[in-house]
Amino acid sequence: MSLACRQGLTKQRTMTLDDRGAPRVPVCLVAFQGEGAALACALDTLPPEREQQAFVLCSADPELESLATAAGLRCVPALPATYPRESYWCLVSAALQGSVERCIVLRAGAMPGVAWYRRFPVQEADAAAIFPLSVRHPASSVFADPAHEPNLLPDEIDRWLNAYTSALAFDIPCFAGESACIDVRLMHGASAANDAELAAYVREQGNLLLLSDNIYVDDRTFPVFSLPSSLYPAVQTALSRRHPLTGVRHALQELSSRGEAPTAVVPPVQPARLHISHSWGGGLGRWVEDFVSADTGHRNFVLRPIGDLTAFGQTLALYGSASSTLPLRTWTLAVPILSTAIAHHEYRQLLNSILTEFGIESIIVSSLIGHALDVLFTDIPLLVVCHDYYPFCPPILATWGSPCWNCDAQRLANCLQNNPGHRFFRYEQASHWLALRAHFSRALCESNIPLVAPSASVAERMCSLMPVLADHAVHEIAHGLPQAVLDGLTDSASGVGSDGRLRIVVLGSLETHKGADLLKAVVEPLASFASLVLVGSGSNGDAFVDFPHVEVLAHYEREDLGALLNEARPDIGLLLSVVPETFSYTLSELHAAGIPVAATALGAFSDRIQEGENGWLYSPDPESLLALLHRLASGPREIANVKANLVAMVPRTAVDMVADYNRLLPAAAGYLPRPKEGASGYGGARTGNININPEASLRDVFREFWQYVRKKVDNTEKLPRPIVRTVSWLMGVIYK
């Protein structure tokens, strides 16, 4: 698909979405005389945006009108005081003629499930009514017996249904219940005396009545409905004996009879979000893990490439969480992605299958390494997080000797040849990177994709490197720490004056770009007045173990950091990166522990450290660093003042961060169900260990099963020999 064609899809998406995530059709609450309490409950279920999206259709009852007015809703008192149940939809559709074209009708007294106003399907152009699952109507009941009295709460039933059903809609022959998404226009002109005649009129016009298993409205407080007597016998038989929900009905009625609520294995009904990430771990991997843990309002999935230095996207793996090591799905690409593909048909196909199968409603792109730009052209709301400067910059950090602020074709070609920081993408020429830049920039601007930067310097440099972004909003959202980490990072005790030496903790990796050479240049002169503790230095810390007054802890668990810092009792923290950091988790952790930090005056350090307030900045050279440390060693009061400021600060949490992202990327106007791993149509999720192709012949299934058994037996050393002989005999009989 060309860029222009794909761009058309994105523009269409932008025009059809409500930025607030509100329903695309109004909500009509229906209440009759004396149903004030039921209407009050229905009002409580409305979305926050209800003022412009909902109204009340009711009897001429002062209490009902007063409730609508108090809620700020329009009231239409066009219904009689009571109604015959067999003519409910005739009354409602007639009262709505000329007022709305399409709306979601919620009957006061019925209890809808989570996010019900976004889960109603509203896309079927020829559907006169789309009904939710219910309790009391034979055509839409979730129970085998619509008279069943549930022993589960509505939300518990909703969770079970979301685990069992498959986001399908199917034909029904009648109006099924008193809540639905209706198209009033498709009922106009009917001279029907009751709902059965209205249903016949709808069908005769070539329109549909549908039941969706994506939405549940609990109407247990209503009497049981009856099927219209005018339905043909074959139709009544099909509804009672061959209903698509038959398996679900029997299972759910058993669960309800026992009062068996969903366990933690059955997660809440939530919209699904997809993270596009790389598999390198590091700060980006940690960010995704923290985000997913804090984002309790979504079901988060992570798509990561698997590869090596020759091609980073050889296999793609989809995970059900950021920390999972067992993928839900894997796909091996026929043509691997070396770095980032401008277009890749197979990638596009598997991405579309993920979006559909797992009900993805929003996408956060954290890295395009191992992916294709096709992800930027989905019809789903997305944003791009600038954790680094890739894919504009193949060396990722946009640094060649010093931070880069511009990069034309000539500089790029020279950089790819001569920049020691260009370590990973060695197989593609400058022409590929220039073309990738052009397509990436065009996708961002023409699709108006939001960009997020974790610090101001990242936003500034991105716009400098890509002048096309001059008029493009780049939002600054700082990272946050998980509450569990913050709880462990209590105010660490100071070691000032304990042995007359300045105690310094160096937290994090000591690779070259993290300042290993700078530390080597100062470690000997520091020995005269300071002690160093290197925490999490990795194998690079080995180069410092023989220096006096240096302790090295190469690795640590994240949850142990607070205890380690307390044990180290540092006066200050030291950050040595010689390339501009885009944020720095280590700075956040040290600040959360109340440890003043001296850091190189580069990138996010310059953004986040105010001199003398919460730390100090120095030029990334040995002379500037030693001068600063000498000053601090002789001025403990300066350290104490900064420490007091840090202790008074309230650390930013991952929950704070997620809230900022959710404001920028609200839930989609539509709502797809929670994904079901292993689901296979109706009858419940697959829970066994065997997948069988339903189109395979019985002979082929038996043959493959016994071949598997024989292989399993042959490779199980501890299996008793009589069993082995028995299996061999059976194989001989079967294939004789």
Asked if residue 473 has pLDDT above 80, the reply is yes
- Closest listed residue to residue 522, CA positions, set 622, 634, 629, 630: 622
Residues 6+ apart with CB under 8 A from 94: none
Q: With bands split at pLDDT 50, 70 and 90, how would you rate the model's confidence at 499?
A: low
Asked if residue 327 has pLDDT above 50, the reply is yes
E strands, 311-453, in order: 311-319, 329-337, 360-365, 382-385, 399-400, 402-403, 451-453
Asked if residue 411 has pLDDT above 90, the reply is yes
Cβ neighbours around 475 below 10 Å, total: 16
| pLDDT given for residue 558 in this prediction | 82
Asked if residue 665 has pLDDT above 80, the reply is yes
Phi, psi at residue 495, to the nearest 5°?
-100, 15
Cβ neighbours around 658 below 10 Å, total: 21
Phi, psi at residue 493, to the nearest 5°?
-70, 145
Question: What is the tens place of the pLDDT at every residue in 678-687?
Answer: 333 333 333 3
Asked if residue 337 has pLDDT above 70, the reply is yes
Question: What is the tens place of the pLDDT at every residue in 445-456?
Answer: 888 899 999 999
Asked if residue 17 has pLDDT above 50, the reply is no
Tell me the C-alpha distance between 591 and 643, whole Å: 9
The arithmetic mean of pLDDT across residues 307-318, rounded, is: 91
Q: Specify the range with the lowest mean pLDDT, choosing from 159-168, 272-281, 308-317, 431-440.
A: 159-168
> Measured between alpha carbons, how far apart are the two ends of the chain, in Å?
53
Q: With bands split at pLDDT 50, 70 and 90, how would you rate the model's confidence at 296?
A: confident
User: What length is written for the chain?
Assistant: 736
The arithmetic mean of pLDDT across residues 654-665, rounded, is: 92
Tell me the C-alpha distance between 672 and 230, whole Å: 35
Asked if residue 155 has pLDDT above 70, the reply is yes
Question: What is the tens place of the pLDDT at every residue in 167-210?
Answer: 778 899 999 999 999 999 999 888 899 999 999 999 999 999 99
| pLDDT given for residue 492 in this prediction | 56
Q: With bands split at pLDDT 50, 70 and 90, how would you rate the model's confidence at 305?
A: very high
The arithmetic mean of pLDDT across residues 667-692, rounded, is: 44
| pLDDT given for residue 297 in this prediction | 84
Residues 6+ apart with CB under 8 A from 611: 617
| pLDDT given for residue 390 in this prediction | 93
The arithmetic mean of pLDDT across residues 717-721, rounded, is: 59
Q: With bands split at pLDDT 50, 70 and 90, how would you rate the model's confidence at 117?
A: confident
| pLDDT given for residue 163 in this prediction | 79
| pLDDT given for residue 697 in this prediction | 57
Average pLDDT of the chain is: 85
Phi, psi at residue 300, to the nearest 5°?
-100, 135
Long-range contacts of 54-58 (CB under 8 A, 24+ apart): 54/26, 54/27, 54/28, 54/29, 55/26, 55/27, 55/28, 55/29, 56/28, 56/29, 56/31, 57/28, 57/29, 57/30, 57/31, 57/92, 57/95, 57/96, 58/29, 58/30, 58/31, 58/32
- Closest listed residue to residue 277, CA positions, set 311, 295, 304: 304
Cβ neighbours around 104 below 10 Å, total: 26
Question: What is the tens place of the pLDDT at every residue in 207-238?
Answer: 999 999 888 999 999 999 999 999 988 988 88
b/e per residue 184-196 (b: at least 16 CB within 10 A)? bebbeebebebbb
| pLDDT given for residue 13 in this prediction | 30
| pLDDT given for residue 6 in this prediction | 32
Question: What is the tens place of the pLDDT at every residue in 361-395?
Answer: 899 999 999 999 999 998 889 999 999 999 999 99
Locate all alpha helices (DSSP H) within 45-168, ordered by sequence: 50-53, 62-70, 88-96, 116-119, 154-164
Phi, psi at residue 373, to the nearest 5°?
-65, -10
Tell me the C-alpha distance between 625 and 635, whole Å: 15
Residue type, 272: A
Q: With bands split at pLDDT 50, 70 and 90, how would you rate the model's confidence at 40?
A: very high
Residue type, 668: A
Is the whole-model pTM more than 0.75?
no
By three-state DSSP, how is residue 304 classified?
strand
Asked if residue 11 has pLDDT above 50, the reply is no
| pLDDT given for residue 53 in this prediction | 79
Locate all alpha helices (DSSP H) within 297-427, ordered by sequence: 345-357, 409-418
| pLDDT given for residue 85 in this prediction | 92
Asked if residue 695 has pLDDT above 80, the reply is no
| pLDDT given for residue 454 in this prediction | 93
Asked if residue 326 has pLDDT above 90, the reply is no
Q: With bands split at pLDDT 50, 70 and 90, how would you rate the model's confidence at 7?
A: very low
| pLDDT given for residue 684 in this prediction | 33
| pLDDT given for residue 497 in this prediction | 45
Top mean-pLDDT range of 316-325, 624-633, 688-697: 624-633
Q: With bands split at pLDDT 50, 70 and 90, how would you rate the model's confidence at 713?
A: low
| pLDDT given for residue 323 in this prediction | 76
Asked if residue 427 has pLDDT above 60, the reply is yes
The answer to whether 520 touches 589, Cβ cutoff 8 Å, is no
Phi, psi at residue 237, to the nearest 5°?
-65, -45
Two tokens, residue 559: 């949850």
Two tokens, residue 470: 């001059």
Q: Specify the range with the lowest mean pLDDT, choosing from 84-98, 372-386, 715-729.
A: 715-729
The arithmetic mean of pLDDT across residues 612-626, rounded, is: 93
The arithmetic mean of pLDDT across residues 17-29, rounded, is: 61
| pLDDT given for residue 247 in this prediction | 86
| 74 or 685, higher pLDDT | 74
